[in-house]
């Protein structure tokens, strides 16, 4: 498995969409309530802090009902983050439900230099057709299917978190796993936590 990950790292080094060198790296997560966007943001933020980075992370909820659209934001920097404004020009947009891809809220946050990661069974060209005039990088992954196979339930957040780390390398996979274990082992137990960690690893390894 480590040999495979070393090979994947070499492949990522050749992909210009996977190089991010700006001072503050910004991510917006679009999801529906219950899909775990807040958990992704929390785990990612804690992983970044454990590596000595500076972080801002916050969530926005609409109507408090299952299935309602939600958003989470994460800013990561090697320097203190002075700007507390909402993210308007993210480096990566992550969509945990592909029915949100065509929403105005998602569309207005996407420009051609960004990457979009989508939980979907569709291929990347099908997703591209749903986002008008978008010429950036699209990464599609069936996170629902992988989660069902790995965890036993359709809970895509762990898979998507792994995919995000694999695409960006903004933090180390090991840091994410350590923080996920620390946050969730007491909440959901050792067995379910380990299944979710496997889901994170599968998302990371997926090209």
Q: What is the pLDDT of residue 4?
A: 44
Please tell me the predicted confidence (pLDDT) of residue 106: 78
DSSP state of 65: S
Q: What b/e sequence results for 57-96 when a residue is b if at least 16 CB atoms lie within 10 Å of its CB, and e otherwise? A: bebeeeeeeeeebbbbbbbbbeeeeeeeeebeebbbbbbb
Please state, in angstroms and rounded to a whole number, the distance separating the CA atoms of residues 7 and 21.
22
- Least confident span in 78-92, 106-120, 145-159, 162-176: 106-120
C-alpha pair distances (Å), 112 with each of 83, 89, 108, 116, 179: 23, 11, 11, 10, 32
Domain spans of the chain, in order of start: 2-205
* Fold exhibited by the domain 2-205: Pyruvate-ferredoxin Oxidoreductase; domain 3 (3.40.920)
Burial of 40 (0-12, 13-18, 19+ CB in 10 A): buried
Question: What is the structure's pLDDT at 19?
Answer: 42
For the question of whether the overall pTM of this predicted structure is more than 0.75, the answer is yes
Answer for the pair 141, 203: CB distance below 8 angstroms, yes or no.
yes
| pLDDT at position 145 | 98
14-24 pLDDT, tens per residue?
A: 343 334 446 89
Average pLDDT value over all residues in the chain: 85
Out of 55-69, 96-110, 144-158, 176-190, which region has the weakest mean confidence (pLDDT)? Answer: 55-69
* pLDDT recorded at residue 193: 95
């Amino acid at each position: 498995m480590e040999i495979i990950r070393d090979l994947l790292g070499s492949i990522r080094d050749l992909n210009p969409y996977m190089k991010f060198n700006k001072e503050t790296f910004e991510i917006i997560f679009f999801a529906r309530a219950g899909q775990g966007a807040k958990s992704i943001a929390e785990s990612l933020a804690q992983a970044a802090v454990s590596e000595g980075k500076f972080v801002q992370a916050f969530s926005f909820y609409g109507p408090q009902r299952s299935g309602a659209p939600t958003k989470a934001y994460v800013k990561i920097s090697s320097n203190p983050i002075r700007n507390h404004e909402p993210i308007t020009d993210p480096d990566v947009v992550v969509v945990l439900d592909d029915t949100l891809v065509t929403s105005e809220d998602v569309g207005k946050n996407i420009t051609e230099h960004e990457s979009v990661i989508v939980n979907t069974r569709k291929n990347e060209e099908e997703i591209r057709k749903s986002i008008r005039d978008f010429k950036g990088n699209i990464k599609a992954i069936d996170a629902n299917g992988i989660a069902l196979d790995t965890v036993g339930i359709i809970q895509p957040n762990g898979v998507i978190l792994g995919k995000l780390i694999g695409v960006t390398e903004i933090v180390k996979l090991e840091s994410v796993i350590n923080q996920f274990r620390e946050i969730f082992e007491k909440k959901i137990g050792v067995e379910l936590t380990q299944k979710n960690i496997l889901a994170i690893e599968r998302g990371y390894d997926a090209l």
